[in-house]
Amino acid sequence: MVQLFTVENDRPVKLWNKPPKQESMNLVPDWAPNIHPLVVHFPIALLLTAAGLDVAGFALRCNRPLRFVASVLYVLGTVTLAAAYFTGRSAAATVWLPGMAHAAVAEHWEWAFRAIWFFAVLTVARLLLLWRLRTDPRPAVIALLTLAGLLGGVLLGETGDRGGRLVYRHGVGITRE
């Protein structure tokens, strides 16, 4: 047991007993309540970059290398989106939730679940349409996939907005003294 002291009137005053820190490797920094805030930004960056590459590829007359990179980013983004979803589900059990936040957490989960399914279907469709077929797809197919990626960006925005409300409006995940 570690005892913490302060000095008042030139005499030590005991503050509290604190158990000794156990030496273990913790991948979560002290400022983070759990791993979710560290994971959640990767799918946003990957999937929005993929959608941006789709737009650029379409504007540049269906550039095949850009479509390839975008497809890789969609795969990575969808996998990290699932990781963000599951870390968020487990994080809800480890943070303080004020009463008004429970409905907001459920709404955030619903939007995240929709986003996972949307990007999973979009990613599989991309892989089947762009890489299973040996010929270049028609511009209409590429335009449809590009629009779908932009629609997915809207889903991510709505999900992120609800997650931001949890933190900044309800104080979920904020360290309480």
Residue ranges per domain, the chain? Answer: 36-168
Is the pLDDT at 79 greater than 60? The verdict is yes
Smallest CA-to-CA distance from 130 within 80, 64, 83, 76 is with 64
Q: pLDDT, tens digit, for every residue of 97-149?
A: 777 788 888 898 999 999 999 999 999 999 998 877 667 778 888 899 999 99
Per-residue tokens: 146: 């590009």
52-58: average pLDDT? 93
Cα–Cα separations (whole angstroms), residue 86 to 32, 39, 89, 157:
17, 10, 5, 18
Tokens 């095949």 correspond to what residue? Answer: 64
Q: What is the pTM of this model?
A: 0.78
| Residue of 112, 86, 99 whose CA lies nearest to 170 | 99
Most confident segment among 6-20, 38-52, 93-107: 38-52
Report the 10 Å Cβ neighbour count for 154.
Answer: 11
CA 81, CA 143: separation in Å to the nearest integer? 24
pLDDT at 25 over 70: no
